Structure 1
Amino acid sequence: MDTILLPFSPRFIVLTICAVVTVLLLLVGIFDHKVFKIILIPLVIFGALTLLGIRDFTQKNHAVLRNYPISAHVRFLLEEIRPEMRQYFFESEKDGMPFSRDTRAVVYQRAKMVLDKRPFGTQEDVYREGYEWMHHSVAPKPRADEKFRITIGGPDCTKPYSASVFNISAMSFGALSPNAVRALNAGARKGGFAHDTGEGGVSPYHREMGGDIIWEVGSGYFGCRNRDGTFNPELFASVAGDDQIKMVELKISQGAKPGHGGVLPAAKVSEEISKIRGVPMGEDCISPAYHKAFSTPIQMMEFVANMRKLSG
């Protein structure tokens, strides 16, 4: 008895309805040729759904499809549009990670050069736990005349650099687009701070806008390497001698994965990246897990001293 009623259970009722409607439409079309053209489109639709349901029931890869033929596809459709539904209908102004709608709105408004401020207070819950704010001082101090800069380079440094306490951290060209590199360096120039190149080398886009540059040299020695991946002193000296490059940073290891190297797949090594990094096209661009130029702390200090000498 249970087997007979199984097609009419909630799990299979959609498939059963589609199959029954298909059979009925087919019988009507066979016995009454005049209405066949009218019922052709519904017949094709319900026939296709029936075939889909049979396929769902007989396949063995998805338990949901096997248990709920046809109707389970609605679940996958809802999963597909879930991010859009959440963003447009359910997400509040303060929800959303890593950036809320309010934060994104400020970026959009400033990019369009329109007003990015709202009157009549804040929408933030200022009483929630963890909320931070700057409190007005009841005894304000005179405005500081210091420029909030730090001189980097001791007595042995021939070219000390007065660095801002606010700078742009390392992000390589390749991970960033040319326009992103230009924008960051232009901001560094306007703000009077430095722009770190990341280990991908100094690109022409870092130089275009005239901002101060910190050249990061990693274990791949991109921009100052031989064909075998070893350090090239002459090439390093020619790049480091640029007056726009204010400091050279030696990257010991991958910050996100210490003790491991990095790989830029060959498919992403464009002609431009190949030229800037000094790596061959058609091959994976490898950042080794260790430096070939040194292996002990003393050797590292000697290597740093040599880099300082080469850079002038």
Structure 2
Amino acid sequence: MNLSLLSRYAFFVSCVLFTLVSLAFLQHQWLWPFTLLGAALSLIGINDLLQTPQAVRRNYPILGNIRYLVEGIRPEIRQYLLEGDGDKLPFSRAQRSLVYARAKNQGADKAFGTLLDVYQDGYEFIGHSMRPAAPADPESFRVTIGGPQCRQPYSASLFNISAMSFGSLSANAIRALNQGAKLGNFAHDTGEGSISPYHREHGGDLIWEIGSGYFGCRDQNGHFDGERFAEQARSPQVRMIEIKLSQGAKPGHGGILPKHKVTAEISATRGVPMGQDCVSPARHSAFSTPIELLQFIASLRELSGGKPVGFKLCLGHPWEFMGIAKAMLETGILPDFIVVDGKEGGTGAAPLEFTDHLGVPMREGLLFVHNTLVGVNLRDKIRLGASGKIVSAFDIACVLAIGADWANAARGFMFAIGCIQSQSCHTNKCPTGVATQDPQRQRALVVEDKAQRVHNFHRNTLEALAEMLAAAGLEHPAQLDARHLVRRMSATEIKLFAQQHVFLKPGELLGEAIAGEFYARMWQMARADSFEAAQA
């Protein structure tokens, strides 16, 4: 028994030992109440170890019940103790409660109206119709991904699991996510950690993310290996290929999996040695210009047998993305999809300055990418996904209204499998077994139970979206646009999303007159042959 396990079970073991020892001294009547208390606590601990729904209790028998006792009285004390300005976690407790409720098939309704300040700057809402529509079937909320150069298009759900790697997440977490995706017929992004055996156990649809480390398709020097890529990419379970240019929480930084989390399984899955930090470089070695990026996309599409290939990025320098758009026009090579991540996106660990101050927020990045593709007459040929703190049906509606075709979520699905946001992902001591490689800790996460919760969260969120759209008089998410959502700008002014943003017209970047000086200047600076800016 290791020290970590001993420390977590110390109180439970102490109760059991005390009960056994005190039974030998029952002739002392004064000891009976303490013996009964020890026996009761021991039974609670045994029940905690055997039950499956609550991972904290399995990892911390007896003591873990304190969390759920506090959770039980939270509605009464929330306003004074648990909410308010002091809650600085990446997601509020209200958001986590929404996910937990939907994952457990519990009602998310609440009494007494909203706790939000509807007169605060930034408050957003959807306008409803005088003639609501009948709610659509959420199972019809799908989008076909695969442009004219794709031979195996994929019908994706409107809501999918965003990139989270095996290595960052435990084997049981990956199993639960993928089984949930299989149950709900939606996609599971592998993250850049490659395709592990645990991704394959339940057969859920995979989006294989390939980062700068080329894990799962690299040679001994860490460079891209086409043969190894083709071997995995042609698996029927792999439905799309996603090149990660950057991620929201640390764009331009690269990533690292500490050596103490690099197990033999991770080493085999990623093709990296044990005993060393597993490093994802900040930049790719397979391409260095926009044209070379598109040539790499064409190569991956051919090697995969014609499956959809695209890329994910957190927008940085605007002229760089416009350079990619110019390269599309010059080469005729198109990605099948683009996923726009926001700088508000999450990660296991990142420098504080990167988390707080680097990269473009998701909505601004999404709108820019959408506008650029519209402006070069390519928007109808390329699908757009969005990710970055998307949890609720309203979050999905917001990104659809400004240009996305579908949405991805990471932490929402992490909450569904039991994450309590302890922010210990990088320590290998996750209390719920979600983000750890410790086999004893991840044992607490029961796959079958959590997989059902993943399925429930996905289904209930899309049902909520269907109800919101129906209230707005809409029958399908494709009808949603920037006219339907509203934002408070000040105490005396509200604006439709359509009034807040510049929306380019089809082909506008190809003509002489471009709406807005910003888009005109960025287009002038963009280069197809280099990510460096031309002289404006």
Q: Give distance in 1, aligned partners of 2:230 and 2:145.
A: 20
Which of 129, 140, 165 aligns to 2:119? It is: 129
Letter in 1 for 2:251: P
Q: CA offsets, 1:45-81, max 9 Å, x none?
A: xxxxxxxxxxxxxxxxxxxxxxxxxxxxxxxxxxxxx
Q: 1:142 to 1:124 in 2, by over 3 A?
A: closer
Q: 1:128 to 1:283 in 2, by over 3 A?
A: same
Aligned-pair CA distance for 1:197: 0.7
Partner SS state of residue 179, structure 1:
helix
State yes or no: 1:141 paired with 2:133: yes
Q: CA offsets, 1:211-246, max 9 Å, x none?
A: 111000011000111111011111111111110110
Q: Give distance in 2, aligned partners of 1:149 and 1:217.
A: 24
Which stretch of the first structure deviates more once superposed, 230-239 or 283-292?
283-292
> 1:214 maps to what in 2?
207
Letter in 2 for 1:303: F
Q: 1:297 to 1:109 in 2, by over 3 A?
A: closer
State yes or no: 1:171 paired with 2:125: no
Partner SS state of residue 207, structure 2:
strand
Q: 1:136 to 1:243 in 2, by over 3 A?
A: same
Aligned-pair CA distance for 1:256: 2.8
Q: 1:204 to 1:90 in 2, by over 3 A?
A: same
Letter in 2 for 1:265: P
> 1:265 maps to what in 2?
258
Aligned-pair CA distance for 1:299: 1.4
Which of 224, 230, 249 aligns to 1:237? It is: 230
CA contact 1:253–1:259 (8 Å) conserved in 2 = yes
How does 1:251-290 map onto structure 2 within 5 Å? 251-290=244-283
Partner SS state of residue 253, structure 1:
coil
Aligned-pair CA distance for 1:258: 2.8
Q: 1:115 to 1:221 in 2, by over 3 A?
A: closer
Q: Give distance in 2, aligned partners of 1:114 and 1:228.
A: 48
Q: Give distance in 2, aligned partners of 1:276 and 1:127.
A: 48
CA contact 2:102–2:108 (8 Å) conserved in 1 = no
Q: Give distance in 2, aligned partners of 1:116 and 1:141.
A: 23
Q: Give distance in 1, aligned partners of 2:146 and 2:99.
A: 37
Q: Give distance in 1, aligned partners of 2:235 and 2:260.
A: 31
Aligned-pair CA distance for 1:154: 1.9
How does 1:73-222 map onto structure 2 within 5 Å? 91-95=80-84, 96-98=87-89, 99-100=91-92, 121-122=111-112, 124-125=114-115, 128-130=118-120, 137-144=129-136, 147-222=140-215
Q: CA offsets, 1:189-214, max 9 Å, x none?
A: 22221111111111111122221110
CA contact 1:149–1:162 (8 Å) conserved in 2 = yes
Q: Give distance in 2, aligned partners of 1:154 and 1:216.
A: 19
Q: Give distance in 2, aligned partners of 1:222 and 1:188.
A: 23
TM-score, with length taken from structure 2: 0.38
CA contact 2:168–2:257 (8 Å) conserved in 1 = no
> 1:13 maps to what in 2?
none
Q: Gapped runs of 5+ residues in structure 2?
A: 1-69, 306-536
Partner SS state of residue 151, structure 2:
coil
TM-score, with length taken from structure 1: 0.62
Q: Gapped runs of 5+ residues in structure 1?
A: 1-83
Partner SS state of residue 167, structure 1:
strand
Partner SS state of residue 229, structure 1:
coil
- Identity %, equivalent residues: 57
Q: Give distance in 2, aligned partners of 1:144 and 1:124.
A: 26
The structure showing larger relative contact order (alpha-carbon pairs under 8 Å, at least 6 residues apart) is 2
Aligned-pair CA distance for 1:122: 3.7
Letter in 2 for 1:125: L
Q: 1:255 to 1:106 in 2, by over 3 A?
A: closer
State yes or no: 1:305 paired with 2:298: yes
How many residues align? The count is 225
> 2:219 maps to what in 1?
226
Which stretch of the first structure deviates more once superposed, 237-246 or 93-102?
93-102
Q: Give distance in 2, aligned partners of 1:218 and 1:196.
A: 12
Alpha carbon RMSD of aligned pairs, Å?
A: 3.1
Aligned-pair CA distance for 1:135: 6.8
> 1:246 maps to what in 2?
239
> 2:289 maps to what in 1?
296
Q: 1:93 to 1:259 in 2, by over 3 A?
A: closer
Q: 1:277 to 1:290 in 2, by over 3 A?
A: same
Q: 1:256 to 1:118 in 2, by over 3 A?
A: closer
Aligned-pair CA distance for 1:268: 2.2
CA contact 1:93–1:102 (8 Å) conserved in 2 = no
Q: 1:91 to 1:210 in 2, by over 3 A?
A: farther
CA contact 2:262–2:274 (8 Å) conserved in 1 = yes
Q: Give distance in 1, aligned partners of 2:187 and 2:206.
A: 6
Partner SS state of residue 92, structure 1:
helix
Aligned-pair CA distance for 1:129: 3.2
Letter in 2 for 1:302: Q
Aligned-pair CA distance for 1:275: 0.7
Q: Give distance in 1, aligned partners of 2:285 and 2:188.
A: 26
